[in-house]
Amino acid sequence: MSGALSTRPAFLAWLDDAAAGRAGALLAWRFDRISREGLPAVARLLEVLKASGGRMLTYGDRMDSDSHAFRITAAVLSEVAYTERETLKARVLSRQANDRRKGWWTRERPFGYVVQDHRLVRHPDEAPIVRELVRRAMTGDSLRALAKWLDAEGVPTPKAAKGYKRPDKPARNGRTYTGPPTWQLQSVRVILRNPALAGWLPNEGLPVRGEDGELIVVANDPILSPGEWHGLQTALNARSALNADGRRRPAVGAAPAHELSRLLRCECGGAMTFQRGGRGQRKKGADAFKCVRSSQGASPCPGNYVNAPAITAEVSSRVARRVAALEPGSPEFQAVAARWLREQDPVDDAERRAAVAAIANAEAAVADLEAARYERGEFVGVNGIARWTALYERATARLAAATAAAPDADHVVDVGGLLDAFQLLESLDGGTAEDRRALYLLTFDVVTILRDRALPPEARFRVRWAGEDESADA
């Protein structure tokens, strides 16, 4: 393990053993393999060697702790190793920053692209496959269904294609890949979540911004437009489920077991999962929802369940009253309309939200530069003011460009389709579960179930409607 790391289990275990008298010698190739964090990091080693009478030997630089000059030599070499480490780190960071400024791709190619002249270019065979994956994902196919489709089409997995820098180049080192022959869900998820699909440099699944605040573009002809990528992420996020702690986790797109699945939450924060009566632990009784935390042993939830037909009837009744009371132009109506528009045209909605985010980032950059000069007293002197002026002009130019590219704020969106969608109210009594769930997703975020079953339904079930913040759950 690298000497640049301060937490190395084997080395720390040896120190403990040496201090306890269970180890008497430490062998290393060179002293910088012991530590590259400077003199403070080797202080404990020197203390342990002195107290235990242990001995340290290195082969490369011939160091011996029994030598009279060991301590001074160790101090010098530890600082030299630290300086080398920091110098190398600075060089790597400088090179990475330079590559980002140039918009270069310096990693292994992502699925769907090839690398040419440090830029991503569409792979002639894989790019159409990615487009088809996106289309199928947007129409509701699960990750499992997408993986099966890839296998059925005979598409090589990413690891099988690894090493193909160009379509006509053979596998790396001339060897044939013998890994998993089938596609895994995680591989499909990584492809669909990658910002490189829109031509952006990714880091931990998010697009990277450069020093000027703009997204770094590394592809000449991206597979997706920014709006298409944002729309895809919105669709994938909408299919995520709740963990027991209330956080979202990636879902594979399976159909919900009940029309209220993933929409109910216990007051402890855990998800309420559907259990069908007559199966498993519920060998008798009706269908019900149960808090997942109640079956996790030493958990903060003593248990919570609710009769599924009862909660379904209550939620349907509240949604019907909510929709009937909505007035066009009201904040409540606008919140529902925004969700409806996202469903009808996710790409257009994503482009609008991306434009709003670009304006907000540009405004923040301008405000920070103004505060840096006039409040924090930065950019002093003639050279400092000249640099500030150049940065400020660039920031204001980006703000003007983002504002000009944003959709017209006075543009009136036709919500006639939304008013037609309210006819789904009739389906609450006799429609399909899919129709009812679609209306639920438009009108509310989550229903919190209190554990006190003695409370009347209007007090036990708390609905957070569209547009309300989490304080509505309290």
Q: Does 158 or 342 have the greater pLDDT score?
A: 158
Residue 147 has pLDDT above 80, yes or no: yes
Kindly state the average pLDDT of the residues 397-424: 60
Q: How far apart are CA 441 and CA 336, in angstroms?
A: 9
Q: How far apart are CA 4 and CA 34, in angstroms?
A: 9
Please give the distance of CA 99 from its chain centroid, rounded to a whole number.
24
State the chain's mean pLDDT as an integer.
Answer: 78
304 neighbors 268 (Cβ within 8 angstroms): yes
Kindly state the average pLDDT of the residues 26-31: 79
| 132-161: burial string, b at 16+ Cβ within 10 Å, e else | ebbeebbeebbbebbbebbeeeebbbbebb
Kindly state the average pLDDT of the residues 380-396: 85
Kindly state the average pLDDT of the residues 214-219: 87
Closest CA to 28 of 16, 40, 42: 42
The 10 Å Cβ neighbour count of residue 281 is 7
Return the top range by mean pLDDT from 33-47, 56-70, 272-286, 441-455.
441-455
Q: How far apart are CA 34 and CA 82, in angstroms?
A: 11
Kindly state the average pLDDT of the residues 298-316: 83
Q: How far apart are CA 363 and CA 398, in angstroms?
A: 9
The residues near 88 (Cβ < 8 Å, ≥ 6 apart) are: none
Query: 49-52 — which CB contacts under 8 Å span 24+ positions?
Result: 49/18, 51/19, 52/18, 52/19, 52/21, 52/24
| 369-400: burial string, b at 16+ Cβ within 10 Å, e else | beeebeeeeebeeeeeeeebeebbeebeebbe
The residues near 74 (Cβ < 8 Å, ≥ 6 apart) are: 31, 42, 46, 63
Q: How far apart are CA 290 and CA 307, in angstroms?
A: 9
The pLDDT of residue 124? 93
Instruction: Give per-residue pLDDT as tens, 191-206.
Output: 999 999 999 999 888 8
The residue written with tokens 């935390």 in the block is 293
Return the top range by mean pLDDT from 16-25, 107-116, 346-355, 461-470.
107-116
Residue 164 has pLDDT above 50, yes or no: no
What pTM does this model have? Answer: 0.50
Please give the order of strands across the beta sheet that includes 264-266: 264-266, 444-449, 461-465
